[in-house]
Amino acid sequence: MPTARAGDGAGIYYEAWGRRDRAPLLLIPGLTADLRIWACQRMVFGRRYRCIALDNRGSGRSDKPPGPYSLAQMADDALAVLDAEEVEAAHILGYSMGSFAAADLALVQPGRVRSLLLAGTTCRHHEWRRELLMSWVDVAQTRGVPAMVRRASRWLLGPAGQRFGLAINLLWPLLLSQPAHAFAAQVEALLELSDEAAAGLAAIAVPTLVLAGAADRLTPPADAEEVAGLIPGSSLAIISGAGHGLMVEAAPDFNAAVLAFLARDSLTSEASVLLAQDSPERIAT
């Protein structure tokens, strides 16, 4: 099993597939989930890119050391995976918690990032979201992760995902596989977001796409619009009918938006045009 070694010695599990002769695309999952969250993207992206997906520390087959964890640490973990694969620079797609690590990587190591894609993201935590996340930690620690997942599910899926079984069948085993201490440590990292972090997004200087589900309750479209407004020249894609699990619930539209952006903005000349724009561009989906 391919494993990168993080700076503190933690093992970060990852998988690589697709076209090794094409540009690298690194995928970073969100809270509790592991790289299996990208099941609906695996073949589609693999036909066009050299794909590398990791399990965040605390999830999947990566090590689950005691907390605290930090977003900077998770960004370093992603960098360790790129180093293990001898990749100098990659397109970075981060989902939910993974989007914060991806943004941190673009800020501290911009030369390693060809473009940035942030899905299900935000740049600050409203008080209601802080309270919600802490309530999930309390349930996980006192009643177990399955009880927490049952409570969280309505925040993770939009109406379509709740009506049809595919999203539930895929997401449920991913969320149940994490021990309570690792979940709490990941939430602690998430809660690092602050107004200072939001202000720092203005320094991101790589082509960026922000994606959101139109029916996302956990990180609503307004949060994505704020992020896109802070990153110079960024684009914004709102995926109709999708909730927070947009890459599963609306995989065809999500995949199309990602691939259209990568095809357009991987070229230097087009990236220069994008960065010269003054306001976010909305991509139709």
Give average pLDDT by consecutive 10-residue segment, the chain, 285 residues: 92 97 96 92 97 96 94 96 97 97 95 97 92 94 84 76 51 67 93 82 96 96 97 96 92 96 66 39 45
Q: What pLDDT sits at residue 84?
A: 97
Q: What pLDDT sits at residue 219?
A: 96
For the chain, which domains are there?
3-283 (3.40.50.1820)
Q: What pLDDT sits at residue 145?
A: 80
Q: What pLDDT sits at residue 276?
A: 36
Q: What pLDDT sits at residue 197?
A: 76
Q: What pLDDT sits at residue 160?
A: 58
Cα separation, 174 vs 109, whole angstroms: 30
Token pair belonging to 28: 């970073």
Q: What pLDDT sits at residue 173?
A: 55
Write the CB contacts of 161 (distance below 8 Å, at least 6 apart in sequence). 167, 168, 242, 243, 245, 248, 249
Q: What pLDDT sits at residue 266?
A: 58
Q: What pLDDT sits at residue 277?
A: 39
State how far the alpha carbon of 178 is from the alpha carbons of 37, 62, 140, 183, 205, in Å. 14, 11, 10, 7, 35
Q: What pLDDT sits at residue 172?
A: 52
